[in-house]
Amino acid sequence: MFDVKQELPKAPLYREEFEHDNCGIGACVNIHGEKSRATVENALKIVENLEHRAGKDAEGKTGDGVGILTQIPHKFFARVTKALGMDI
């Protein structure tokens, strides 16, 4: 039996030679849980200020892309998954 406290699992998709640090991260939240356009606009400002992660290489021509993660409303997610035969 595998004991997580004693040994690491074999992960076929993980390869140590591809391990590297990220270049930066930012977070924008509303501590009251209120959804607003301002939160998304602030997240986009972070993207603008994290220049390397904003999809630019050292020459400023190409890059690896960037995105923001937003909350998916439960009602929307439930409707979409129901159409796929899944109940959440």
pLDDT at 82: 93
User: Is pTM beyond 0.95 here?
Assistant: no
Question: 5-48: per-residue pLDDT in tens?
Answer: 666 656 667 777 777 666 667 888 888 989 899 999 998 888 77
- Among residues 23, 29, 38, 78, which one is catalytic? 23
d(CA 3, CA 9): 9
Q: Which residue has the higher pLDDT, 2 or 42?
A: 42
pLDDT at 84: 92
- Assign 49 a pLDDT band (cuts: 50, 70, 90): confident
Question: 78-88: per-residue pLDDT in tens?
Answer: 999 999 999 88
* Residue 28 appears among annotated catalytic residues: no
> To which residue do tokens 């972070």 refer?
46
